[in-house]
Structure 1
Amino acid sequence: MSDSSFGPIKKQTLLVEEITSRILSLIKERELSPGDRLPPERELAVMLNVSRASLREALRALFAMNILEMRQGDGTYVTSLEPQQLVQHLEFVFSLDDSTFIQLFEARKIVEVGIVALAAQRITDSQITLLEEKLQLAERSLHDPEAFLNADLELHKIIIEAARNPILDRFMSSISQLGLASRSRTVNIPGILIETIEDHKAIVEAIKQHDPDAASRAMLIHLNHVEDRLSNLSVSEQIQAPDSET
């Protein structure tokens, strides 16, 4: 990265947004990489031809997005840019609005149904063994929601890894991170753990048979089951809410 990368910014009304956009562009264009240190604030303000106050405001926005981080006594750095880190600030938004859970399941249906088809074609024998172990662990954890949730997450993670597509892997990492809130809610719904076990058995069996179509159907059925349970839970909570206020 050269000093010219931080050329002067033309004065305009949305100065802070322009500073933010410039830094994001440098990251997208690989002129700034994860772990890179930005020039000191005074130098950076001169390079961009902006006030330090405007620069600080733009940096604060990038800190909030987990794109930049301040290391005490050392300066400002680009974060690791891992998907789990970048979506952290969205988790709170998801916790406020039930409609976002439905949108999340729409995304999962599009992505995971395709991923499981790839996994069925590319999975190794050792990964099949791991899937079966996680399935057995989940069955032993029916009375321990937290342990069941961990086994569920690991099972889906193995499927994603078996697809052997780094782009889909990173995409699903973001979706999975956002989905933790919905998983934490649904895991306590009566009867859902047993239903999930049966769904997972169908998914794993299709994968073992290296049948992508059957695996996709089984995954879609599973996601529909969970989505229906979550929708019913939301309706039930809305009905009960007025009573809780009296």
Structure 2
Amino acid sequence: MALTDEAIDRIKSMITSGELRPGDKLPKEADLAERLGLSRNSLREAVRALALIRVLDVRQGDGTYVTSLEPQLLLETMSFVVDFHRDHSVRQFLEIRHILEPAATELATRRMTDTDLDRLGAILAELPAEPTVDELVANDLRFHREIAVGAGNPALASLLESLSAPTVRARVWRGRTQEGAVARTREQHAAIYHAMRGRNAEVARSWATVHVAGVEEWLHQALAETA
């Protein structure tokens, strides 16, 4: 993980220094790895992590590009402000999610149409039977984004989207280190969805609370052990 973190830091430094600008294409993997003194595996993991939080855009058959860094929904800005792997302040973002996510889920349960809920269920159905951690996290982001939009409050959806980036790394970290995390996430997503499908807003809110609190509690323990 340390080598991957080093690769992430070096790519971010190239972007923040202006060496790579929004819209620029990254050099070929072999060339960039040699230039940065990194293994291709470490570089590949770094690109994957930065793509998850939308700092990079990987285009199949074309290459990898730096995204626009304009603060749309505050997403890209916050992803650079917070180093959420090393900085304990990621817990603060999870605490805010703990407050807002259940509220958004309750609103979405009351406001989403049947067609909206069909689309939400389709997102869950797209996940493979045995997903990788990256596949799970990508699906998790889409699932919660759909609920946030479905709450019918653009300001709330924007705020939740901005909170998503600083917590992506924690979700990936949890999926790779906590036994049963992948299965638990799937079960909780299904419980949230079924409560929403049944129009039981209070139950949906409760499951959303349990879901976010689980990540928050795990991170608290993981950071304590690291310390």
Give TM-score, length-normalised by structure 1: 0.60
Query: Structure 1 residue 236: deviation in Å?
Result: 3.6
Greater Rg by CA: 1
Higher RCO (C-alpha 8 Å, min separation 6): 2
CA distance in 2, matches of 1:88, 1:237: 22
The percent of aligned pairs where both chains have the same amino acid is 23
CA distance in 1, matches of 2:71, 2:224: 37
Contact 2:137 2:168 in 1 (8 A): no
CA distance in 2, matches of 1:222, 1:81: 28
Contact 1:87 1:178 in 2 (8 A): yes
What is the CA RMSD across the aligned residues, in angstroms?
2.5
Compared with structure 1, are the counterparts of its residues 89 and 209 closer, same or farther at alpha carbon in structure 2 (3 Å cutoff)? same
In structure 1, the residue matched to 2:173 is 185
In structure 2, the residue matched to 1:174 is 162
CA distance in 1, matches of 2:155, 2:180: 35
Question: Which of the numbers 76, 87, 92 marks the counterpart of 1:103?
Answer: 92
CA distance in 1, matches of 2:131, 2:223: 23
Give the SS at the match of 1:95.
coil
Question: Which of the numbers 135, 141, 165 marks the counterpart of 1:153?
Answer: 141
In structure 2, the residue matched to 1:204 is 193
In structure 2, the residue matched to 1:220 is 209
CA distance in 2, matches of 1:141, 1:182: 23
Contact 2:112 2:151 in 1 (8 A): yes
**1:89 and 2:90 aligned:** no
Contact 1:161 1:169 in 2 (8 A): yes
Contact 1:115 1:168 in 2 (8 A): yes
Note the residue ranges of structure 2 that are not aligned, 5 or more in a row.
1-15, 23-68
In structure 1, the residue matched to 2:125 is 136
Query: Structure 1 residue 209: deviation in Å?
Result: 1.4
Query: Structure 1 residue 151: deviation in Å?
Result: 0.8
